[in-house]
Structure 1
C-alpha cells in the first residue's frame, strides 16, 4: 500500500517550474499517486493595496487566462488531465491549504529557493504552506 495517493504540486509558472514538476512526477509514479497541478494567482489589488480607484477586473481576467493556458501546457507535457489542473485566485499559502484539504491530498510539493537570512530554509510561500498544511509537504530546492 502506497503512502501517497494524491499529490498536489503548487507551481509558479516560471522557468523553474519543471524542476519541481519533474521530481513530483517521479514521486507520483513511485507511489502510483494521482497528480494535481495548482497555480495561485494573487489578486491584482494586493499589489496596490486597493489604493487605485479603477476597476482591475479585466487585468485580473487576463492574468487568470494566461495562467490557465500555461498550466494546461504543463498538464499536457506531464500527462495531468484538465480535471487536475487548478488555477485559483488568492493568497498562495491559504489557497494551497484550502485545496489540500478539499481535495484530500496526502502530499503537497512546492519549490524553494533556499534563501539565506530571514527566509533561511524556505521561501515565504513554501514556509507558509509548511506551517498550515495538515498533510506532508515536500520543498524542492530550486537550482
Structure 2
C-alpha cells in the first residue's frame, strides 16, 4: 500500500477530536504526509429550518469566533500549522468532501460514534463522509 500524501482530519472540536487527530498522526508517521484539519459549522438556519423569523447573524458570528479560537488551540496542540486549519460553514459532509477535493486529500480521517438503527437513520457525519468521498476514509471509533 502506498503512503498517503495529504490527510484531512475532520473534527467537531469535542474532547474526542484528540483521538481522531492521534490516529491521523499514526497513519502519517514515517511519511511526509501533509496534515490539514477542518471544522464545519452548521448554520443555525439549518437547525431551525428557517421557520423562526429571527436574525441569527450575531449568534452565528460568535459561534464562528469561538470555533476559530478552539481550532487554533487544537491545531497548535497537534502540530498543525495555522494555514492548514480550515473552518467552513455548511453541511459537514458536503464541506468535508469539498475541502478534501480542493486539497487533493487522499485520506479523510473522521470520528464515528458507531451509531446504528434510528440514530444512524437520523444522520451521521461519518457515514455521509464515507459514502460521498472520492478518497479513502478512516472512521475512528470514539465515545462508545
> TM-score per shorter chain, which class?
over 0.9
Q: What does residue 110 of structure 1 align with? A: 110
Is 1:81 aligned with 2:67?
no
Q: What does residue 28 of structure 2 align with? A: 28
Q: What does residue 55 of structure 2 align with? A: 55
Number of residue pairs aligned between Structure 1 and Structure 2: 141
Q: Distance in 2 between matches of 1:112 and 1:10?
A: 11
Q: Distance in 1 between matches of 2:5 and 2:21?
A: 17
Gaps of 5+ in 1: none
Q: Distance in 1 between matches of 2:69 and 2:99?
A: 20
Q: Distance in 1 between matches of 2:130 and 2:104?
A: 16
Runs (4+) off by over 4 Å: none
| 3-state SS, counterpart of residue 59 of structure 2 | helix
Q: Distance in 1 between matches of 2:119 and 2:6?
A: 28
Query: What's the C-alpha RMSD, in Å, of the aligned pairs?
Result: 1.6
Is 1:16 aligned with 2:38?
no
| 3-state SS, counterpart of residue 31 of structure 1 | coil
Name the TM-score, length of structure 1 as normaliser: 0.92
Name the TM-score, length of structure 2 as normaliser: 0.92
Is 1:126 aligned with 2:126?
yes
